[in-house]
Amino acid sequence: MAMMNISDILETIAMIEEEHLDIRTITMGISLLDCCDSDIKKSCDKVYDKITRKAEKLVATGEQIEKEYGIPIINKRISVTPIAMVSACSGGNPVEYAKALERAAQTVGVNFIGGYSALVHKGFAAGDEALIRSIPEALAVTEHICSSVNIGSTKAGINMDAVALMGQTVVEAAKATADKGCIGPAKLVVFCNAPEDNPFMAGAFHGAGEPDCVINVGVSGPGVVSTALKKIPDGNLTDVADVVKKTAFKITRVGQLVAREASDRLGVPFGIVDLSLAPTPAVGDSVAHILEEMGLEQCGCHGTTAALALLNDAVKKGGIMASSHVGGLSGAFIPVTEDAGMIDAARSGALNLERLEAMTAVCSVGLDMINIPGDTPAEVIAAIIADEAAIGMVNSKTTAVRVIPAIGKKVGDELDFGGLLGGGPVMDVNMISPAKFISRGGRIPAPLQSLKN
Amino acid sequence: MRAVITVVGKDTVGILAKVSTFCAEHDVNVVDVSQTILQDMFCMIMLVDTADMKLEFTDFSDQLKSYGEERNLKIHVMHEDIFNSMHRI
């Protein structure tokens, strides 16, 4: 047939229908720098007006593309300039901005707005500390707002005062939402080397170097990769890497197509495609299962870090040629509660926090969506953040922590969030105290970038 | 634009005729057709031009889909670019 190969067409349809290929998100980045006003009420009104104006057609356009191309687009989201920058100008209670963002999210019908954020890797500027201290309340009084704080970078080192503060903030965010299943910290990410164009939540924000408005797209498709690997049960690891690359290429091409269409139809420049493998709790959409398909008895056993390193690198190599601009986080995600295979491995004890930390050295993001005991001290959480940031800082990569203290629960209890956030067991945490180390404060100096051993 | 209609289901008499009649009724021009039997399943792929279509694309796609459901057929209508993007460099 002149037009197309039948098996190619059926392959695409099977990827979508049976293997959960989807566009995880179209995220519109909107700069709020021109909304700053010395009067906080005016400033909030300008924020609301600009978001609802720019994103008026975002959801409808996403749905239209979804229908025409037959590819599910799971989320339509917005990322904005870190609110600490806007509130630095107006002063006042930053929670007012969270409320304005919430109203805007409801008006335009998006799933989330990210950017209740502060960038403090070298220190606190005006507005930063007030914003961080307001995060627990902001996440408790809103539904659609996501928050992130960047506390370290390869060039700046790690701001340990901010790390200590974030340890407390995570605990308080959990307490403030204890009646809502501790959902607060599930919407809060602590970053090292945060990307400015990430379309994925909860860490999306619109960086200061970004244009006024931009479209970023995040793809997904762990199910497609594991199905492809099932076809070579006895292939060696070179074959495995090749299959992952080819699959990542195909997935990313769809992301590029959707990004270009959304950008054209909305009249907003295309930013990047984020070529991450983002799992969901649905059966057959798990990153852990890809690792198990490679030959691990269960995710978390010895060999997991090596398998993940192969996967993460092959995803990038395959995806990079499929898109004109790649950015964001771009790698395999390992959120525990959002991944059926990770949940099973955490429940059986195959997967622990230390193994997860090692895995974050070779893949995207970091310790993500991990339920920890509700009585975990703030300084232990701060130390978890510091460890993770150190991995990111030294390896020049993004790392992050999104842990959820399950208030009133202990190791082995379950905490569920529902939807894409999933749910899972409360995992064991090493409680030997790092309190003195954390209380020292100050900054960990930026690391040497040569003599790499 | 050009779209790809795929029909997958148990082979019965007149599937091709029915789908092409449906297209004709809505001024959708059939450019190319290919069909095959895969493991007892009938599988038809039709490339169509929707430039003169009287319906909104989404309505056309929804109607064809529910038409298929009534007859135990899986029908998809998708913009051809998704296949071109994925399988051609």
Question: Are A85 and A156 found together in one domain?
Answer: yes
Identity of residue A329: L
pLDDT at position B13 is 81
Question: Would you call B83 helix, strand, or coil by DSSP?
Answer: helix
Q: What chain B residue is nearest to A63 in terms of C-alpha separation?
A: B58
State the Cα angle at A323 between A319 and A328, rounded to 5°: 75
pLDDT at position A452 is 79
Q: Which residues of A184-204 are buried (b: 16+ CB within 10 A; e: fewer)?
A: bbbbbbbbbbbbbbbbbbbbb
CB under 8 Å to A96, separation ≥6 — which residues?
A: A40, A41, A44
Question: Are A327 and A413 found together in one domain?
Answer: yes
In A, which residues are within 8 Å of B58 by CB distance?
64, 67-68
**Domain encompassing residue A164:** 27-192
Q: How far apart are CA A272 and CA A219, in angstroms?
A: 11
Mean pLDDT calculated for residue range A333-340: 96
Q: What chain A residue is nearest to B47 in terms of C-alpha separation?
A: A3
Top mean pLDDT of A402-406, B8-12, B23-27, B43-47 is at A402-406
Identity of residue A116: Y
- Distance from the Cα of A59 to chain B's closest Cα (Å) equals 16
Q: What is the mean pLDDT of chain A?
A: 95
- Distance from the Cα of B6 to chain A's closest Cα (Å) equals 8
Q: Does residue A381 contact residue A403 with C-beta atoms inside 8 Å?
A: yes
In B, which residues are within 8 Å of A71 by CB distance?
78, 82
Residue A15 lies in a domain: no
Question: Are A305 and A236 found together in one domain?
Answer: yes
Question: Are A166 and A242 found together in one domain?
Answer: no
Q: How far apart are CA B13 and CA A369, in angstroms?
A: 53
Q: Which of A9, A11, A69 sits opposite B79 (nearest CB)?
A: A69
- Distance from the Cα of A216 to chain B's closest Cα (Å) equals 18
Mean pLDDT calculated for residue range B29-56: 88
Single pTM value for the model:
0.93
Q: What chain B residue is nearest to A258 in terms of C-alpha separation?
A: B82
Residue A108 phi/psi, 5° resolution?
-90, -10
Residue A45 lies in a domain: yes
Residue A227 lies in a domain: yes
Q: How far is CA A252 from the centre of its chain?
A: 18
Domain boundaries, chain B: 2-87
Question: Are A42 and A159 found together in one domain?
Answer: yes
Residues A178-212: pLDDT tens digits?
A: 999 999 999 999 999 999 999 999 999 999 999 99
Q: Which of A293, A261, A263 minimizes the C-alpha distance to A277?
A: A293
State the Cα angle at A262 between A261 and A268, rounded to 5°: 115
- A4 and B85 within 8 Å at the Cβ level: the answer is no
State the Cα angle at A177 between A176 and A183, rounded to 5°: 135
**Is the model's pLDDT at A143 over the cut of 90?**
yes
In B, which residues are within 8 Å of A1 by CB distance?
32, 34, 45
- A68 and B83 within 8 Å at the Cβ level: the answer is no
Question: Are A123 and A224 found together in one domain?
Answer: no
In A, which residues are within 8 Å of B47 by CB distance?
3-4
Q: How far is CA A258 from the centre of its chain?
A: 20
In B, which residues are within 8 Å of A6 by CB distance?
34, 36, 43, 45
pLDDT at position A3 is 57
- Give me the residue label for tokens 């090692």: A358
Residue A217: its H or E element: strand A213-219
Q: Does residue A147 contact residue A79 with C-beta atoms inside 8 Å?
A: no
Q: Does residue B50 contact residue B57 with C-beta atoms inside 8 Å?
A: yes
- A6 and B79 within 8 Å at the Cβ level: the answer is no
Residue A80 lies in a domain: yes
**Is the model's pLDDT at A103 over the cut of 70?**
yes
Residue A276 lies in a domain: yes
Q: Which of B61, B77, B83 sits opposite A4 (nearest CB)?
A: B83
What is the percent of chain A where pLDDT is above 90?
92
Domain total for chain A? 2
pLDDT at position A266 is 97
Question: Are A238 and A188 found together in one domain?
Answer: no
Q: How far apart are CA B56 and CA A444, in angstroms?
A: 60
Q: Does residue A291 contact residue A306 with C-beta atoms inside 8 Å?
A: no
- CATH code of the domain in which A104 resides: 3.20.70.20
DSSP assignment letter at A200: S
Q: How far apart are CA A404 and CA A293, in angstroms?
A: 29
Question: Are A179 and A222 found together in one domain?
Answer: no
Half-sphere CA count of B36, side-chain side, radius 13 A: 10
Q: How far apart are CA A240 and CA A248, in angstroms?
A: 12
pLDDT at position A1 is 44
Out of A175, A192, A209, a domain closes at A192
- A1 and B77 within 8 Å at the Cβ level: the answer is no
- A70 and B78 within 8 Å at the Cβ level: the answer is yes
Question: Are A337 and A433 found together in one domain?
Answer: yes
> Is omega for the bond preceding A186 within 30 degrees of 0, making it cis?
no
Q: How far apart are CA A294 and CA A360, in angstroms?
A: 19
Question: Are A390 and A249 found together in one domain?
Answer: yes
State the Cα angle at B89 between B86 and A73, rounded to 5°: 25
User: Does residue B39 belong to the interface with chain A, where contact is any CB pair within 8 Å?
Assistant: no
State the helix-helix crossing angle for A83-90 and A40-54, rounded to 10 degrees: 150
Interface test with B, best of A16, A68, A219, A320 (most B CBs within 10 A): A68
State the Cα angle at A117 between A444 and A274, rounded to 5°: 90
- Give me the residue label for tokens 């409360």: A426
Mean pLDDT calculated for residue range A54-66: 96
- A68 and B47 within 8 Å at the Cβ level: the answer is no
User: Does residue B29 belong to the interface with chain A, where contact is any CB pair within 8 Å?
Assistant: no
In B, which residues are within 8 Å of A64 by CB distance?
58
Residue B32: its H or E element: strand B29-38
Q: Which of B38, B43, B83 sits opposite A12 (nearest CB)?
A: B83
**Counting beta carbons within 10 angstroms of the beta carbon of residue B24, is it exposed (0 to 12), middle (13 to 18) or buried (19 or more)?**
exposed
pLDDT at position A182 is 97
User: Does residue B16 belong to the interface with chain A, where contact is any CB pair within 8 Å?
Assistant: no
Question: Are A177 and A298 found together in one domain?
Answer: no
Q: How far apart are CA A338 and CA A421, in angstroms?
A: 5
Residues A235-249: pLDDT tens digits?
A: 999 999 999 999 999
Question: Are A276 and A372 found together in one domain?
Answer: yes
In A, which residues are within 8 Å of B77 by CB distance?
70
Q: Which of A67, A11, A19 minimizes the C-alpha distance to A279?
A: A19
- A70 and B77 within 8 Å at the Cβ level: the answer is yes
Architecture per CATH, domain B2-87, reads as 2-Layer Sandwich (3.30)
Of A2-16, A201-215, A343-357, the least confident: A2-16
First to last CA, chain B: 20
- B83 and A8 within 8 Å at the Cβ level: the answer is yes
